[in-house]
Structure 1
Amino acid sequence: MSITLTDQDKTTLRTAAYGAVSLLSAADAAGKPHKIAAAGTIALSSATGVIGHVLAAKSKDIHLQGKSVAELADQVLPALTAAMKLLEQQDPAEADNFRGTILVAIDAAGSPHKGQPTPTMTEMARKITGALDAA
């Protein structure tokens, strides 16, 4: 199946993916947010397929703003759902690829805690997964 993504579609995918990592990092602001962000970003940069190409592209179209985790979540969680809907309509295999990529990033982001993410990170991961599955 062929997939055609507009520039706006690509922005939505990047916002969703990198926003998910940002949410996890923000959920552990008192702990190791920079290590969480690094681990999650490395996981995203390891993606393959169309998603891998979109996430690897050098772009300045990700504009995550907010002074609180709630404000960040208001942008990122709907973007995750929108990304899944978009991909499911065009190519269900790429939707699975995107979902898997985000789940790997969540897993990787928990690694700075020696395999034991904090309760706030666990809850944020649950919300991210819920947004992915809401499509």
Structure 2
Amino acid sequence: MSKQLSDPDKYTIQVAAHGVVALMASSTPGTFTAPKAGIAAAKAMSTATGLTGEILAEKPPKLPFDGSVAKTAEIVLPALTESVKILDRAQAGEGDNFRRTMQIVAESATKANKAGPNPAESEMLRKIEDALRAPAL
């Protein structure tokens, strides 16, 4: 049984998910590899199922990213932690579904680079995974 989510809750989840795509693409250097990483991550996000998939299929309002990786991370990483909490409250197991989906999204971006993840991608992946596992405040 799922609980109806408020628009602000949905927006937090959308910011978190789209932010993972933005962060992973930003941590991939190169004129051609960064867009490929972003496309791979976005395609992975489009395969989300359950309540997570329903929310991510909706077109979000304007996202608060300005292009700065540091500022984007300041918004996205706490939103990831909060999203797991929101989804856990809404429906049993949905926080885990979101967590797995975001890990797949992030890992898909790293696989777009045929040479394997570079140190910046690996570090961003670690930060995302830490945020997904962190206890919500």
Taking structure 1 as the reference length, the TM-score comes to: 0.92
Relative to structure 1, the CA distance from residue 115 to residue 100 in structure 2 (aligned partners, 3 Å threshold; closer, same or farther) is farther
Helix, strand or coil at the partner of 2:71: helix
Letter in 2 for 1:16: A
% identity of equivalent residues: 40
Q: Distance in 1 between matches of 2:49 and 2:59?
A: 16
For 1:42-121, list aligned pairs within 5 A. 42-65=43-66, 67-114=67-114, 116-121=116-121
- How much does 1:10 deviate? 0.7
Letter in 1 for 2:96: D
Q: Give the length in aligned residue pairs.
A: 134
Helix, strand or coil at the partner of 1:34: helix
1:133 aligns with 133
Q: Distance in 2 between matches of 1:114 and 1:3?
A: 41
- Which stretch has the larger CA shift, 82-91 or 102-111? 82-91
1:24 aligns with 24
Listed as ranges, the gaps of 5+ residues in structure 1 are none
Q: Distance in 2 between matches of 1:78 and 1:98?
A: 14
Relative to structure 1, the CA distance from residue 105 to residue 87 in structure 2 (aligned partners, 3 Å threshold; closer, same or farther) is same
Q: Distance in 1 between matches of 2:21 and 2:64?
A: 14
Q: Distance in 2 between matches of 1:11 and 1:61?
A: 10
Runs of 4+ in structure 1 over 4 Å off: none
1:34 aligns with 35
- Structure having the larger proportion of residues in helix: 1
Taking structure 2 as the reference length, the TM-score comes to: 0.90
